[in-house]
Amino acid sequence: MLVAMTPLAIDFAAIAAAAARLKGVAHRTPVLRPRSADQRCGASAFFKAENLQRMGAFKFRGAYNALSQFNPEQRRAGVIAFSSGNHAQAIALSARLLGMPSVVVMPHDAPAAKLAATRAYQADQPGSEVVVYHRFREDRAAIGAAIAAERGMTLIPPYDHPDVMAGAGTAALELIEEVGPLDVLLVCVGGGGLISGSAVAAKHLCPDIRVIGVEPEAGNDTQQSLARGELVSIAVPQTIADGAQTQSSGQLTFPVIQALVERIVTVSDDQLIRTLRFFAERVKQVVEPTGCLAAAALLEGVVDFRGQRVGVILSGGNVDLPRYAGYLAG
């Protein structure tokens, strides 16, 4: 059998360099140790609270790591991104902190709160705007390409980019630095930026660690891809985990997942809602549905790591308040 020998897109040195760039800029988020969680799963669970990161999700780490490496010409022209989610806010905030323009291309039906949050980060940064396109009538790639060409802007994708992956990996790096070696690390999977960076960091710091990915039941493209040994693309999944509604992982992230991730498990939307309520009621934390994926696998008994030290990344806390209130009311 032929074994692919292409090097992985990132190594531990890239993550250490990202950590140095993020020092004093990103929050070093706390690690939560609720006893009620340990009682539920019989393990020692360490939750890395990226719901408390700047702009509300780990995405700040990757965006800032990428933008802070722009050369002077790229900085003058600025950055362009497509996103209606946390990547939009991460790009807008990072661009403002670095003093460069940002254009975020969003669908016309993006939640008003997300449009407003992104525009607020852009407010005092000249040349910055949200460009709204019609999801069904317009081609966002063509719109983005035209703006990028006209204004000379650099496109930063939400996960399939080495600097984005390396920045994301600093979350796992901080977790293990703080609590010491872990037996298992549970990480949610959308396009695979967070888990690929986290796996590289974790395997370097504790080579025996088992890294396990968690996807929504309805959106298990990466689980299917691992089984097939190649990238599988699925229809846009129907799940409340909107940060994991990706159709496939990336050309750069998937080889890292193949090399370092033991397996992918899935959780249902009902399990996500119970976990979201657990964090609100018992831990006093607002965690968005996608941010609950990894924790749900542990707390709902999808995986059993009794007696072991288990790291869990809570990836974000940005919720639409009325919808969140609905989940809490049950």
Q: What residues line the site for ligand PLP (CB under 6 A)?
A: 57, 59, 85-86, 159, 168, 188-195, 243-244, 288, 290-291, 315-316
250 vs 257: CA distance, rounded Å: 10
Minimum distance from residue 290 beta carbon to ligand PLP (Å): 4
- b or e along 108-145 (b: 16 or more beta carbons within 10 Å of the residue's beta carbon)? eebeeebbebbeebbeebeebbbebbeeeeeeeeebbe
Beta carbons within 8 Å of 324's beta carbon, 6+ residues apart: 276, 286
Q: Specify whether the CB–CB gap between 253 and 192 falls below 8 A.
A: yes
Minimum CB separation from ligand PLP for residue 25, in Å?
Answer: 18
Task: Decide whether 176 or 295 has the Cβ nearer to ligand PLP.
Answer: 295
Bridge partners (DSSP) of residue 220 are none
Contact (Cβ atoms closer than 8 angstroms) between residue 283 and residue 32: yes
Largest CA distance in the chain: 57
Q: Which is nearer to ligand PLP, 78 or 316 (CB)?
A: 316
Q: In angstroms, give the least distance from the CB of 162 to ligand PLP.
A: 13
Q: Catalytic residue, from 311, 315, 316, 317: name it.
A: 315
Tokens read off for 59? 């995405």
Among residues 48, 50, 59, 192, the one annotated as catalytic is 59
How far apart are CB 66 and ligand PLP at their closest, in Å?
Answer: 13
Q: With respect to ligand PLP, which residue has the nearer C-beta, 266 or 290?
A: 290
Select 101 or 291, whichever has its Cβ closest to ligand PLP.
291
Amino acid at site 210: R
Cα distance between residue 253 and residue 145, in whole Å: 23
Cα distance between residue 312 and residue 49, in whole Å: 9
Q: Residue 256: which of 188, 193, 308 has the closest Cα?
A: 193
Indicate which residue of 221, 242, 288, 300 is catalytic. Answer: 221
The residue number whose beta carbon is nearest to ligand PLP equals 316
Among the listed residues 219, 291, 311, 316, the single catalytic one is: 219
Closest separation in Å from C-beta 203 to ligand PLP? 17
Cα–Cα nearest to 194, from 257, 123, 110: 257
* Nearest distance, CB of residue 53 and ligand PLP, angstroms: 9
Give whichever of 288 and 300 is closer to ligand PLP, judged by the CB atom: 288
Q: Is 127 one of the catalytic residues? A: no
Shorter beta-carbon distance to ligand PLP: residue 19 or 57: 57
Concerning whether 219 is annotated as a catalytic residue, the answer is yes
**Given 163, 215, 288, 300, which residue is catalytic?**
215
User: In whole angstroms, what is the distance from residue 277 CA to residue 283 CA?
Assistant: 9
315 is catalytic: yes
Residue 84 bears catalytic tag: yes
Point out the catalytic residue in the list 48, 62, 83, 84: 84
CA 133/CA 136 separation, integer angstroms: 9
Hey, which residues are catalytic here?
A: 59, 84, 215, 219, 221, 315
